[in-house]
């Protein structure tokens, strides 16, 4: 048994707090894009096709999902801290590429790098916190981690709207991104210690749980053969599908209503803020209450919120729906992560926690998903259709009547 270390938050609060800070920086990286990136496509590159615009969400989800898979292997094979540093190094070119991009597809490619950055760094901070506190406080660790990430994401979305209005849709957020990525790399390099020894300590305490499991077996278990893992996987798929909808389509919905870029940044921050703050409570509660019912109740609230977003047109009702969406996601997200952690043991912990448990955003093609949560699928499908239809009903074409330079009315006025 490793000596000189012990599990628990009280014994490891300094390192735990540093990891919370690091994950705040991780969340801020993606938050900078939350409100403005879809608008960049229409305003600066004249992209009229929403399929092309939403390609940045698809590439982000695909690269992040694959990176989670790689992150689990790297953490178990090479160590947590090294994986975290690699993630930050990969993230540094992202804001630079956004700043100098000559075409929209450069930004789509940059978002693929951002997905790798998020997959490696976010997954690693989750696992390192669990290493420190042990299995009994897994939900608390999840809550702190996700709260830090999404509160920072909300703050970055809010700030990005203001800096974009003053410095430009790309320049302002890109400059902030350079500062954030460099800060994350430096803090991780100078102050974060590897937590692999804590894993060995927990393995020694729970020696009977230790088992080496191959990746293929984990994938089979989480996609069809294990009911527990499969149920968590498909719930994570729909949770992230909801988030993709909020990220990719909501800015168009807001812009089409005549909001300025500052207002879009502010209202876009509501959902991740409610999500982040809520997780301060729901993470710990998932250690005491039924994880199953927290997930089910949260997904019901998400569905109601998404339908409300599509069917209403006022600022007040949108704000209320975004708060509800954040609360629902706060019930679901840390609970899903903790549920996967309940199933994972010992050395498979890092590999299993996020790559096959909760970030299945782009695995919807598997035929077995069609049999699960049909009510949730219906709610999400109706919401997507309604949101797209409501955006289509608001003309975003230029005065000449073409779609080549489609620009949502209202947000350009804050840029001049």
203 burial via Cβ count (<10 Å: 0-12, 13-18, 19+): middle
Residue with tokens 């406080």, as numbered in its chain = 137
Tell me whether residue 200 is in a domain: no
Contact 157, 31 (CB under 8 A): yes
Residues whose CB falls within 8 Å of the CB of residue 28, separated by 6 or more in sequence, listed in order: 152, 153, 155, 156, 176, 180
pLDDT at 289 over 50: yes
Task: Find, among 185, 132, 60, 26, the residue nearest to 349 by Cα.
Answer: 132
Q: Please compute the mean of the pLDDT values over residues 100-104 and round it to a whole number.
A: 92
Write out the H or E segment, with its range, that includes residue 299.
Answer: helix 291-311
Q: Which domain covers residue 295, as residue numbers?
A: 17-194+214-396+407-415
What pLDDT is attached to residue 42?
80
**Is-contact 245 34, C-beta < 8 A?**
no
CB 299 within 8 A of CB 234: no
Asked if residue 410 has pLDDT above 50, the reply is no
**Is 271:322 a contact under the CB 8 Å cutoff?**
yes
Tokens of 204: 């020694």
Q: Is the pLDDT of residue 294 over 50?
A: yes
146 within 8 A of 110, measured Cβ to Cβ: no
**Average pLDDT over the chain, rounded to whole?**
76
- Whether 6 is covered by a domain: the verdict is no
- pLDDT band for position 210 (50/70/90)? low
pLDDT in tens, 296-342: 888 899 999 999 998 888 889 999 999 999 999 888 877 877 777 66
Report if residue 206 sits inside a domain. Answer: no
* In a domain? residue 69: yes
Judge whether 208 lies within some domain.
no
Q: Are 260 and 411 in contact (CB under 8 A)?
A: yes
pLDDT in tens, 76-93: 788 899 999 999 999 999
**pLDDT (0 to 100) of residue 64:** 86
Q: Where are the beta strands (DSSP E) in 12-70?
A: none
- Residue with the larger pLDDT of the pair 413 and 296: 296
CATH number, position 330: 1.20.1250.20
Q: Helices then strands (H, E): number in the chain?
A: 19, 0
What is the number of structural domains in the chain?
1
Please determine, for residue 101, whether its predicted confidence score (pLDDT) is greater than 60: yes
**Burial letters 384-393, b for 16+ CB under 10 A, else e:** beebbebbee
Instruction: Please write the tens of the pLDDT for every residue from 354-406.
Output: 443 333 333 333 333 333 333 333 344 334 443 444 444 443 333 333 333 33
pLDDT of residue 205: 62
Q: Does residue 5 lie within any of the structural domains?
A: no
Least confident of 159-173, 246-260, 265-279: 246-260
CA angle 399, 405, 407 (to 5 degrees): 75
Mapping DSSP to helix (H, G, I), strand (E, B) and coil, where does residue 4 land?
Answer: coil
Residues 201 and 193 sit within 8 Å (Cβ to Cβ): no
> What CA–CA distance (Å, rounded) separates 103 from 349?
40
Asked, for residue 205, whether it belongs to a domain, the answer is: no
Return the SS3 of 307: helix
- Give domain status of residue 209, yes or no: no
């Amino acid at each position: 048994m490793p000596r000189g270390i012990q599990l628990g938050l009280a014994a490891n609060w300094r390192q735990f707090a540093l990891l919370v800070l690091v994950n705040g920086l991780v969340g801020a990286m993606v938050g900078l894009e939350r409100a403005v990136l879809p608008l960049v496509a229409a305003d600066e590159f004249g992209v009229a096709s929403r399929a092309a615009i939403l390609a940045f969400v698809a590439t982000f989800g695909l690269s992040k999902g694959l990176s989670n898979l790689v992150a689990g292997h790297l953490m178990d094979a090479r160590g947590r801290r090294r994986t975290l540093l690699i993630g930050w190094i990969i993230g540094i070119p992202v804001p630079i590429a956004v700043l100098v991009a000559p075409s929209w597809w450069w930004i789509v490619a940059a978002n693929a790098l951002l997905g790798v950055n998020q997959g490696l760094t976010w997954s690693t901070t989750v696992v390192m916190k669990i290493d420190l506190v042990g299995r009994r406080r897994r939900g608390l660790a999840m809550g702190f981690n996700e709260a830090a990430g999404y509160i920072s994401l909300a703050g970055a979305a809010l700030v990005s709207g203001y800096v974009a209005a003053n410095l430009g849709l790309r320049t302002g957020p890109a400059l902030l991104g350079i500062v954030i990525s460099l800060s994350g790399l430096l803090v991780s390099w100078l102050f974060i210690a590897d937590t692999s020894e804590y894993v060995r300590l927990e393995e020694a305490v729970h020696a009977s749980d230790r088992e080496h499991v191959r990746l293929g077996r984990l994938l089979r278990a989480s996609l069809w053969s294990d009911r527990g893992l499969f149920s968590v996987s498909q719930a994570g798929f729909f949770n992230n599908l909801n988030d993709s909808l909020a990220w990719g389509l909501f800015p168009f919905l807001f812009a089409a209503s005549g909001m300025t870029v500052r207002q879009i940044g502010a209202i876009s921050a509501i959902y991740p803020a409610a999500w982040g703050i809520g997780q301060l409570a729901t993470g710990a509660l998932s250690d005491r209450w039924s994880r199953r019912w927290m997930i089910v109740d949260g997904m019901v609230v998400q569905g109601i919120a998404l339908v409300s977003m599509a069917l209403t047109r006022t600022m007040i009702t949108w704000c209320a729906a975004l708060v509800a969406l954040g609360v629902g996601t706060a019930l679901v997200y840390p609970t899903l992560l903790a549920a996967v952690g309940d199933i994972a043991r010992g050395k498979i912990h890092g590999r299993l926690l996020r790559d096959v448990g909760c970030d299945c955003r782009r695995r919807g093609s598997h035929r077995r998903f069609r049999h699960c949560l049909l009510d949730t699928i219906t709610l999400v499908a109706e919401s997507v259709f309604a949101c797209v239809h409501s955006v289509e009903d608001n003309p975003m074409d230029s005065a000449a009547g073409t779609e080549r330079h489609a620009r949502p009315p209202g947000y350009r006025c804050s840029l001049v």
